[in-house]
Amino acid sequence: MLSWAGAVLFAASLAGCAHVPTASTGDVTPLFRDALFKPPAEPIDSRTIFAVDASMRRFLAEEIIPQTRRKDPRQALLDALHGKLLIDYDSEMTRTASQTFAAHEGNCLSLVIMAAALAKQLDIRVTYQEVYDFDTWSRDAGFAILSQHVNLVLGPRVSNLRFYQGDATPMIVDFLPPRQVANAATRPIPEQTVVAMYMNNRAAEVMIGGDIDRAYWFARAAIEADPGFSDAANTLGVIYLERNHRAPAERAMRYALQREPDNISAITNLSTLLAREGRTAEARALEQRLAQLQRHPPFEFYDRGMEAMRTGQFREAARLFEKALSERPYDVPSHFALAIAAAHLGDLRRARQQLELAEQNSTTPESRAIYAAKLRHLESLN
């Protein structure tokens, strides 16, 4: 059986896709091969995603609603989230609203889901947005993961004279530290797409964890939630490849490209599949298309920089890590690698700066703690 390590997943903190025609459930039925996978031990229920539990209702009643008589309900919500809950950013797992509330942490999609669930309880109008040009690449368990970003717009609440009405200006809520996205290009997305993003993220996360069967059911649920969400079809294709089911994998990836012709993940995966099957001309055509969409593969400069460091070429390594950061400014491994190269070159000020950036841009509490400790060690050397 071929190993498909290196397949490209669209997942993690967010999701997004170009505008495509609406697809019906009937369009996607041929993509599914339920008999190839064990049924889930627990049903996958989209109703749990935005469900508000008793502890959340108590938080609303005790910490937020009393403030809304003299404060904009949206600001009261955000003040309570940051001041009372002390919400932290953690990209490790996509959670439901109630799970995020209980854990006091989550990735940007989890935090958006929780904030939206609470806002709707306050009759605040909610709009979801895909944010362009904030996509990031990472690697985990042999998979390359493309993560994109969503945020939330809170509109004025439905009129109710018992509460302070606040400013009618929409309020953007973004949980991705420390980036400023106020002027970023965005597009609104419907809640059904957010549900699909959640399911797609969970599919990727459990697949990376080795549970291919459960990953299939999450990916299936993502496509059912929003048949036009092409990235879920790509994830489904990768899941099939993990079991070496090439025909349904190709069908899923071609469906993704039918919905979104410039989907980099699907182009990459399908071209790899076709090349391994000896369908060279088809694979080459996709590779040419990919070259038009991507000036450089996502990890090219980072990998070359690591190779330069392994051979002691620290100045060249630093140059390559700088190029990596020019294309992916928030890439934590590149910041850390540049810090190491700078330290070898005797530039401790630059090494400290890059470690600070690595800590600031880390997306899990554990990684932030690691870089903070490395920064303290570096400062102790001065």
Three-class SS state of 89: strand
Do the domains spanning 1-294 and 300-380 agree at the CATH topology level? yes
Question: Helices 108-121 and 191-208 sit at what angle, rounded to 10 degrees?
Answer: 140
Q: Which CATH architecture has domain 1-294?
A: Alpha Horseshoe (1.25)
Question: Helices 332-344 and 314-327 sit at what angle, rounded to 10 degrees?
Answer: 160
Q: Structural domain boundaries of the chain?
A: 1-294, 300-380
Given a contact cutoff of 8 angstroms between Cβ atoms, the answer to whether 15 and 150 are in contact is: yes
**Tens of pLDDT along 90-139?**
777 899 999 999 998 888 899 999 999 999 999 999 999 998 877 788 88
**Amino acid 137: pLDDT:** 84
Q: How confident is the model at residue 27 (pLDDT cuts 50, 70, 90)?
A: confident
* Cα gap 50→35, rounded to integer Å: 30
DSSP class of residue 41 equals S
Residue listed under structure tokens 């996205």: 181
pLDDT of 334 > 60? The answer is yes
Residue listed under structure tokens 């018992």: 162
pLDDT of 158 > 70? The answer is no
- Is beta strand 124-140 parallel, antiparallel or unpaired with respect to 186-189? antiparallel
pLDDT of 13 > 80? The answer is no
**Amino acid 56: pLDDT:** 97
Residue listed under structure tokens 């994998």: 249
* Cα gap 106→112, rounded to integer Å: 9
End-to-end CA separation in angstroms for the chain: 53
Give residues with Cβ within 8 angstroms of 57, minimum separation 6: 121
**Amino acid 105: pLDDT:** 86
Given a contact cutoff of 8 angstroms between Cβ atoms, the answer to whether 181 and 151 are in contact is: yes
**Tens of pLDDT along 48-82?**
999 999 999 999 999 999 999 889 999 999 999 88
- Which percentage of the chain shows pLDDT scores above 70? 87
**Tens of pLDDT along 255-295?**
999 999 999 999 999 999 999 999 999 999 999 999 999 88
**Amino acid 2: pLDDT:** 33
**Amino acid 49: pLDDT:** 98
- Which percentage of the chain shows pLDDT scores above 90? 65
Given a contact cutoff of 8 angstroms between Cβ atoms, the answer to whether 90 and 106 are in contact is: yes
Q: Which residue has the higher pLDDT, 250 or 139?
A: 250
Q: Which of 284-288, 314-318, 378-382 has the lowest mean pLDDT?
A: 378-382
**Amino acid 1: pLDDT:** 30
Q: Which residue has the higher pLDDT, 322 or 88?
A: 322
- Is beta strand 8-10 parallel, antiparallel or unpaired with respect to 88-89? unpaired
pTM of the model: 0.87
Q: How confident is the model at residue 360 (pLDDT cuts 50, 70, 90)?
A: confident
**Tens of pLDDT along 186-226?**
899 999 999 999 999 999 999 999 999 999 999 999 999 99
**pLDDT averaged over every residue in the chain:** 87
* Cα gap 12→90, rounded to integer Å: 11
pLDDT of 22 > 90? The answer is no
**Amino acid 162: pLDDT:** 47
**Amino acid 362: pLDDT:** 80
DSSP 174-231: --STT---TTS-EEEE-HHHHHHHHHHHHHHHHHHTT-HHHHHHHHHHHHHH-TT-HH
Preceding omega of 178 cis (within 30 degrees of 0)? yes
pLDDT of 182 > 70? The answer is no
Largest CA distance in the chain: 70
**Amino acid 91: pLDDT:** 72
CATH classification code of 300-380: 1.25.40.10
pLDDT of 342 > 50? The answer is yes
